[in-house]
Copies of this chain bind each other. A is one copy, B any other.
Amino acid sequence: MTAQSPPDEAFLYEQLATTISKLIDVGTLKPGDRLPSVRKLSKKRGVSISTVLQAYRHLEDCCLVEARPQSGFYVRPQVRNRPTEPQITAPPLAVTEVEVSDLVMKVLESVADPDVVPLGAAIPSPDLLPTARLNRVLASVARRAGPEINTYLLPQGYDPLRQEIARRALDWGCSLSRDDFIITCGCLQALSLCLRAVARAGDTIAVESPAYFGVLQLIESLHMKTLEIPTSPRDGIDVEALERCIEKEAVTACLVTPNFHNPLGSLMPEAHKKALVDLCARHQVPLIEDDLYGDLYFEPPRPKSLKAYDRDGNVLQCSSFSKTLAPGYRIGWVAPGRFAPEVRRAKLASTISTAAPLQMALAEFLRQGGYDRHLRTLRRAFANNLERMTQAVGEYFPEGTRATRPLGGFVLWVELPERVNALALFREAVKHRISIAPGPIFSSTGQYDQCIRLSGGHSWSDRIEQALQTLGRLAGRKTGGE
């Protein structure tokens, strides 16, 4: 294991990379322009050579610059045919019973086959994760553990793990203590406990449109109803539209993903977050936050959690390690605010507690350090994957295709031209051994039958590029009126 770089340097290089990427964005640095030499910039900014090099390499990973041997770093040509972004969504504002499960099972089954190109499920590839180190920590915990590894923990979970999570909460803008957290079997269980704590069958839950299909299934399985709110692919849920709905309808709770929403990738501006938290507090509507992707920002700073704006415990923040470290462990958490007693009771009544050995292993992994370093590498990989994927969509997909431009996470939401049907494309793709997630599973009102979600969770490869080429061809055939 290499030693972790000092936090200062990490901060400096990310800051530098951000500055340069902004200069490229606004056109101050144009395609073909040479970046200042490493030595020169190091002197000018008073940072080390290695910091500048790291910043340049990061920009290279993001496909913004390229290194030319013995010459230096140059701004890359802009993506040809970068697809337009989709518009804000416009779901029918109707309270709806949910029924997406059967379709979702089909998608999951298509993903489970290792011969299938896995663009369908939002799962980080194990080779992008420190699986070997995690396994070593688990083995060492198992070898050294006393009897406490084989007994029930209390519902709230293993204290040292809660402690580590509380420490990390500072990154999201929250000052929370160990006792503010309850460990869960993944983020989905956290969301489930929250829903069970604040709502009951027949109640209406306001969600983004589109919404993560797992959330829709969860609401379906609890016999609750959804109200889908218009959502911008860039800025997330439309807070004003939500406000109008809350004033008109009996909304029992809101469930929102402020940071790098799945499937849209949208990131709520901080002012919107504050407005949302205030709105829900004012109307006493519990606000369940899914912050599963919050650590996967491409440019610092780490966006804040809604919980950071919470004054009266009305926000229930949920997340997990499933997208960043340990999908196989099913370990997540919730900071349930004023609903702690209800959530703890729901946890006790669901699974009593979460498996002890894995909580102990994760706590030890975090304690040893290196997680932040891993996150930096992972974020770069995902940024690179999504950039490549966007280019491929621009190149191979039919004219009129739109795609989101996420600033974090690892999924891309693609809006196909009018005559393409996503379910038909899904079925065709399966025949070609490619898995994609068709738009309709992200809606309980039958929206998005022209949309698909593509996952950039696997390292870029020729196989993935070819799959996208095939998908583009299939979609093009559809537009041709097949």
Contacts and interface: CB of A to CB of B under 8 A. Distances in A.
A129 B105 contact: no
10 contacts: A108-B155, A126-B151, A127-B147, A139-B140, A142-B142, A151-B328, A152-B327, A188-B351, A188-B352, A196-B221
A374 to B, nearest CB: 13
B357 A138 contact: yes
Contact of A104 (B142, B221, B326, B348): B348
A355 B129 CA distance: 16
Interface stretch (A212-220, A236-244, A375-383): A212-220
B330 A353 contact: yes
A328 B149 contact: yes
A357 B329 contact: yes
A435 interface: no
A188 B355 contact: no
Contacts of A153: 328
A470 B305 CA distance: 52
B350 A350 contact: yes
B345 A101 contact: yes
Interface in A207-233: 214, 217-218, 220-223
Q: Which of A149, A200, A214 has the most CB of B within 10 A?
A: A149
A78 to B, nearest CB: 35
Nearest to A149: B328
A150 interface: yes
B131 A149 contact: yes
Nearest to A192: B350
B152 A349 contact: no
Q: Pick the 6 closest A-B CB pairs, nearest first.
A: A126-B147, A201-B201, A328-B356, A139-B142, A221-B349, A138-B142
A350 B354 CA distance: 13
Nearest to A193: B221
A344 interface: yes
Interface string A364-390: 000000000000000000000000000
A107 to B, nearest CB: 11
A188 B145 CA distance: 26
Contact of A326 (B150, B202, B348): B150
Interface in A135-159: 135-136, 138-140, 142-143, 145, 147-155
Contact of A188 (B109, B142, B221, B350): B350
Contacts of A186: 351-352
A140 B326 CA distance: 18
Contacts of A214: 348-349, 352
Contacts of A155: 108
Interface of A: 101, 104-105, 108-109, 112, 121, 123, 126-127, 129, 131, 134-136, 138-140, 142-143, 145, 147-155, 185-186, 188-189, 192, 196, 200-202, 214, 217-218, 220-223, 322, 326-331, 344-346, 348-358
A222 B196 CA distance: 8
A351 B327 contact: no
A383 to B, nearest CB: 22
Contact of A142 (B135, B148, B149, B222): B135
Contacts of A344: 105
Nearest to A329: B355
A201 B322 CA distance: 31
Contacts of A129: 150
Contacts of A143: 135-136, 139
Given A201-B202, A345-B105, A357-B138, A185 B351 contact: yes
Contacts of A355: 185, 328-331, 355, 358
Given A345-B221, A349-B192, A151 B358 contact: no
A330 to B, nearest CB: 5
A78 B335 CA distance: 56
A110 to B, nearest CB: 12
A221 B330 CA distance: 22
A136 B186 CA distance: 26
A214 to B, nearest CB: 7
Contacts of A200: 201, 223
A127 B149 CA distance: 12
